Structure 1
Amino acid sequence: MTGAYTPRADLFWELAGLITHIPGLAHPRPLRRSAEAFTERFGPLESERPSGIPREDLYATLRECDRYPEGLRFYLDTLGSGRTGTLAWAAVEQMYLRLYPERLLTPGERDELRTLLGARAPGTRLGPLALPFLPFLPPVDGDTDGPEALEALLDALEDALVPAAEAHPLLSFVEAVAVTQQSLLEAELRAWSDKVAHHIGCPQEALQQVRAREAARVGRPFAPSRLLVEIVAHPAAPDVYHLRGWLLATREGPSSLLADCRVTSRGALEETVAALHESVLERLGELSAGLRVEFLLPRPLLWLDVDQFPVRPAGSVARPIGADHTVLVRSRDRFHKRYWWPALHRRLAWLRSNPDGGFEAPAVRYVAPDGVLAPYDLLTELRDGETPFCFVLLEPPQWDGDLAADPVYVLLEVGIPAIVALRRRGHHAEAGPQLWKVLAGRLDALPDRVRHLRGVGPSGYGSAVTLDLHRHVTLVWDSQDGLEGAEAALGHPRTGGGHHDRGVDRPA
């Protein structure tokens, strides 16, 4: 802070000089009236015997007033009454700000931050974490991570210049510290940032951008970006696909249309997805860490092996897209039928109230190839329940074009958020126990476990996994970070899943 680099005595001497040069204030009368008002409010001034030199006597009075909390401010307000609009008094106020710079943080906020930083993990050096947000670190004597160094660092960060359209450097520093700490302290630091950002007028969007950037720098994506790919096919030409792709902001609908095209073969479809994927990686750069890829598919394409579509990031080897990213399938039918949403939200509410819910009955139901109930019986059984949350289909029912005879359509209608389908046929006796083995755990972490399964392949689970499960698992998934509110951006493509859609010839 400015006052820290100029002796306060010199600043008081300059302040006394500015006041005595204001016409009328060198006279003893206004000075005496101000001193009397001060005495009534705070107590008598105990200045030394007057020297007769106005500047020296005023200097002594100002130093004496400063001994009382808010005393100097009161004295100046009294003395300057009727003069506050003048240029001469503006210089007095500027000198006061050098003595008492405006603080960014309230005392309580600063104390709380000091306590949180004091609880940081051993070995966390604050100087290197702060340097990207300061032109230089403030000089300190002794321990560079001790209490005095922390105070100087916080002073410098409070006074740091704020780049246009960016978060305050102090908030950026706190976020840089947060991502290096254990989850509890990380959450407390971020809660502090949220509170202070509101207080100092920092836009939440700027804070979120800093949060994502700092998390990406340590390989721990805070709010992974999402690539949404919608694929539909004309019922009369199943090898002709219409594809659209968007980049999704966190907890928001699609914000930018990156692709909108028609392809005429499975190979061309895979190449288009690969090109879209590469363009998103280039666009996001370091923020691509943790990218999630979601395919919005109609019922006829629900088991399309999109997680196995090959991608080739620039300069690297080809691999299935599901080996690098969490790949989810979202039901296009459920998205467009809003009257299905209440049933979905009811089951999601059950998951929120049971955060430790496991991959087991009654939350999960395994269905053998010949074990799926008739659609109406399934509807009757499930329509009013909170569980099951997940269905595991060891052989997913094929689409024959008849919605009324399709049990999967019923599962979507009654709000089953998660459907795990094994696309490979046969070997059902082995598939059940192996799926249970690799997917068991918390239900809300199911997407991460499926990603891990696809990424490590059979060798990652030892000789017991012999069915190449990583190549044949579809995860249909809906959650609270779904696509609600995105109708205007998504719109309707020209064709889709056996139905002719409206709004046909223009991208959303």
Structure 2
Amino acid sequence: MITSLHVDDQHRLVEAILRIDGMRARRAREVLLAALERDLGHRLPFEHHDQDRLDVWALVDVLLNYPGAAQALVRNLERFYKNSLSVAALRDLVRELIPEPWLGQEARRELHQLMTSLERFDTGLTHLGRFPVLYRRAVGPAWPLLDREMRDLHDVVALLEEIPAGPDGVPPLLVFADDLARSAAPPAAPAIRDWVRRQAVVHGVDDALYQRQNAEVEARARPEPSETYLIIACTPDALEPDRYLVTAWLQVDREPGSTLQCSDEALPLSRIPELLERLLTAETSVLDRPTPDLTVEFVLPRRLLDHPVEDSKIKIAGFEHRIGIKYPVVVRSLDRMRLAAVHHDWRHKWSVLRGSPADAPVCLVTRRGEYDQEELFSKLSEAPAVLALAFPPWAAADEPDEHWVGLLSGTPVIAWCRDGRDPARFAREVKDLLAADLMRLPRRTMDLRRQALSAGAEEAGTDHLGLHLTLVFDDADRIPEPYVRLRPPA
């Protein structure tokens, strides 16, 4: 709910509406609701109830969710029932309980009509895949993620109107509409752009909006984002440790991510491929992503780091294949994201890797116990941004091992063979893998997985490293918002 009221105050509104003669009968309410929708410029998602009191309660819920709707209802009632004391009492109560929205009645109606026009002309509904990202860009990371239950642009516009302006003074609604105009097709785009310009002048933020637009033009002049990320986070359920609460984001380069899945139902590991298939084959924002490349990232707790997530299979038009041969698939550490104490080292090592991806230092460990744990931690703390291990993690996830020491040292890239490997062979194979630009490692790992399944790899068979390699590739510049420590506003 946008305008939140105490239940007692909502009862007061219900009682005040029922005192008005024309609002007591359902048929009369339907006529007035139709007039209200014409006044607002869009339909209201109102579901009728058989009992009058419940019906009016549901109507108040809708009025609170759309800025200006309660005030518009009062205006319509004043036209129908002039000099009515019960209408005047409702008007006074609305003034007491519901603040006046910053957008004027005509401006709001015009905007909603523009949204209706956009939906009419955009028959493919491509805008639906963009507005979660545009919403996130407009409000910034401090506000809640967009509710996936929102039905259309009218709901988003109503939500944004209630969110106050940021440090530059520009209301998020204007930022959203301006970005939407840039991605919309004619004839909607020029009309939305003109509406934004006029409202910026009316509210005295035209200079701030102009500066913001200039900054975005400069940003767009830079190279296009090189990658889109589908991030799947699996958090162990507190009551059933073999089940996981799954959250999925879509993130374009380093823009704020938009939530695709956030379920309260804990899922077994066997259900993750089913969710993954839906996101990769049916989720609009994934299919309409602005860049063709897509990396799939699994944010996993320690006990799942060794799970072969790249072997998860999806089916398209009857053809089933592993995701690891279609997309670069990497693992990220949920525990490290939650452990703020190691974030400084993690970010430092990531910046070293990003700055010198062709010659970043690598630490190779071919035998378990080759280093004392404190010795390994000291070695990794000195410089290496990459740790390569010829063996899998210990089965007992609550005891420290080389993999866990690597994570705690802040090492952002850790690669290992899940089934163990002859030390000399692993050293040779991983040296070839790490020989070039390490920022391209996820893509080269995908190529290795393809090689393992190609005709040219028949001699290697199931022993090919591409079928056994786990790659932790943990971008410290893209820590998902739930795991970022809050900072004071700029």
**What is the alpha-carbon distance in structure 2 between the residues aligned to residue 418 and residue 164 of structure 1?**
37
**What is the alpha-carbon distance in structure 2 between the residues aligned to residue 235 and residue 453 of structure 1?**
37
Q: How far apart are residue 487 of structure 1 and its match?
A: 3.2
1:315-355 superposed Cα distances (whole Å, 9 cap, x missing partner) = 26211111111111111111111221111122223224424
Q: Which runs of 5+ in 2 are unaligned?
A: 1-177, 186-208
Structure 1 residue 482 and structure 2 residue 484: aligned?
Answer: no
Pair member with larger Rg: 1
AA of the residue aligned to 1:345: R
Cross-structure match for 1:393: 389
Cross-structure match for 1:377: 375
Alignment partner of 1:442 out of 437, 442, 456: 437
Cross-structure match for 1:317: 319
Cross-structure match for 2:143: none
**What is the alpha-carbon distance in structure 1 between the residues aligned to residue 464 and residue 266 of structure 2?**
29
User: Helix, strand or coil: the match of 2:263?
Assistant: strand
Q: Give the alignment of 1:72-221 within 5 angstroms.
A: 165-166=181-182, 202=213
Cross-structure match for 2:141: none
Q: How far apart are residue 484 of structure 1 and its match?
A: 5.9
Cross-structure match for 1:285: 288
Q: How far apart are residue 304 of structure 1 and its match?
A: 1.4
AA of the residue aligned to 1:255: S
Alignment partner of 1:414 out of 406, 409, 417: 409
AA of the residue aligned to 1:377: E
**What is the alpha-carbon distance in structure 2 between the residues aligned to residue 342 and residue 250 of structure 1?**
22
Distance 1:281 1:419, change over 3 A: farther
**What is the alpha-carbon distance in structure 2 between the residues aligned to residue 164 and residue 334 of structure 1?**
36
AA of the residue aligned to 2:412: P
**What is the alpha-carbon distance in structure 2 between the residues aligned to residue 399 and residue 204 of structure 1?**
51
Cross-structure match for 2:365: 367
Structure 1 residue 339 and structure 2 residue 337: aligned?
Answer: no
Structure 1 residue 468 and structure 2 residue 464: aligned?
Answer: yes
1:361-395 superposed Cα distances (whole Å, 9 cap, x missing partner) = xx122212324433233223333x12x22111111
Q: How far apart are residue 241 of structure 1 and its match?
A: 2.4
AA of the residue aligned to 1:366: L
Q: How far apart are residue 279 of structure 1 and its match?
A: 3.1
**What is the alpha-carbon distance in structure 2 between the residues aligned to residue 477 and residue 456 of structure 1?**
20
Q: How far apart are residue 275 of structure 1 and its match?
A: 2.0
Cross-structure match for 1:357: 359
Contact map agreement 1:270 1:309 (CA 8 A) in 2: yes
Contact map agreement 1:434 1:465 (CA 8 A) in 2: no
Q: How far apart are residue 295 of structure 1 and its match?
A: 0.8
The count of residues paired between Structure 1 and Structure 2 equals: 285
Contact map agreement 2:228 2:289 (CA 8 A) in 1: no
Cross-structure match for 2:329: 327
Cross-structure match for 1:402: 398
Q: Which runs of 5+ in 1 are unaligned?
A: 1-161, 170-197, 216-221, 491-508
**What is the alpha-carbon distance in structure 1 between the residues aligned to residue 483 and residue 259 of structure 2?**
14
AA of the residue aligned to 1:470: G
Q: How far apart are residue 266 of structure 1 and its match?
A: 3.4
Q: Give the alignment of 1:28-107 within 5 angstroms.
A: none
**What is the alpha-carbon distance in structure 1 between the residues aligned to residue 285 and residue 346 of structure 2?**
35
AA of the residue aligned to 2:444: R
User: Helix, strand or coil: the match of 2:376?
Assistant: helix
Contact map agreement 1:247 1:258 (CA 8 A) in 2: no
Q: How far apart are residue 401 of structure 1 and its match?
A: 3.7
Identity within the alignment, %: 25
AA of the residue aligned to 1:297: L
Distance 1:448 1:204, change over 3 A: farther
Contact map agreement 1:240 1:262 (CA 8 A) in 2: no
User: Helix, strand or coil: the match of 2:245?
Assistant: strand
Q: How far apart are residue 455 of structure 1 and its match?
A: 3.0
1:49-84 superposed Cα distances (whole Å, 9 cap, x missing partner) = xxxxxxxxxxxxxxxxxxxxxxxxxxxxxxxxxxxx
Structure 1 residue 451 and structure 2 residue 455: aligned?
Answer: no
Q: How far apart are residue 439 of structure 1 and its match?
A: 4.2
AA of the residue aligned to 2:365: V
**What is the alpha-carbon distance in structure 1 between the residues aligned to residue 271 and residue 389 of structure 2?**
29
**What is the alpha-carbon distance in structure 2 between the residues aligned to residue 427 and residue 453 of structure 1?**
18
AA of the residue aligned to 2:348: R
Q: How far apart are residue 309 of structure 1 and its match?
A: 0.7
1:368-425 superposed Cα distances (whole Å, 9 cap, x missing partner) = 2324433233223333x12x2211111122241434x333222112111100011123
User: Helix, strand or coil: the match of 1:415?
Assistant: coil
1:189-217 superposed Cα distances (whole Å, 9 cap, x missing partner) = xxxxxxxxx999746668878999xx7xx
**More off after superposition, 438-447 vs 280-289:** 280-289
Contact map agreement 1:303 1:423 (CA 8 A) in 2: yes
1:260-304 superposed Cα distances (whole Å, 9 cap, x missing partner) = 254554332322222233233664336361111111111111111
**What is the alpha-carbon distance in structure 1 between the residues aligned to residue 215 and residue 446 of structure 2?**
31
**What is the alpha-carbon distance in structure 2 between the residues aligned to residue 200 and residue 253 of structure 1?**
21
Distance 1:468 1:236, change over 3 A: farther
1:136-179 superposed Cα distances (whole Å, 9 cap, x missing partner) = xxxxxxxxxxxxxxxxxxxxxxxxxx99721799xxxxxxxxxx
Cross-structure match for 2:420: 425
CA RMSD of aligned residues (A): 3.7
**What is the alpha-carbon distance in structure 1 between the residues aligned to residue 329 and residue 465 of structure 2?**
15
Distance 1:479 1:411, change over 3 A: same
Q: How far apart are residue 465 of structure 1 and its match?
A: 4.5
**What is the alpha-carbon distance in structure 1 between the residues aligned to residue 247 and residue 294 of structure 2?**
18
**What is the alpha-carbon distance in structure 2 between the residues aligned to residue 321 and residue 356 of structure 1?**
27
**What is the alpha-carbon distance in structure 2 between the residues aligned to residue 264 and residue 481 of structure 1?**
29
**What is the alpha-carbon distance in structure 1 between the residues aligned to residue 374 and residue 460 of structure 2?**
36
AA of the residue aligned to 1:266: L
Alignment partner of 2:258 out of 255, 260, 266: 255
User: Helix, strand or coil: the match of 1:242?
Assistant: strand
Cross-structure match for 1:305: 308
Contact map agreement 1:232 1:301 (CA 8 A) in 2: no
Cross-structure match for 1:43: none
**What is the alpha-carbon distance in structure 2 between the residues aligned to residue 230 and residue 436 of structure 1?**
30
**What is the alpha-carbon distance in structure 2 between the residues aligned to residue 258 and residue 393 of structure 1?**
33
Structure 1 residue 232 and structure 2 residue 235: aligned?
Answer: yes
Distance 1:283 1:367, change over 3 A: closer
Distance 1:489 1:317, change over 3 A: farther
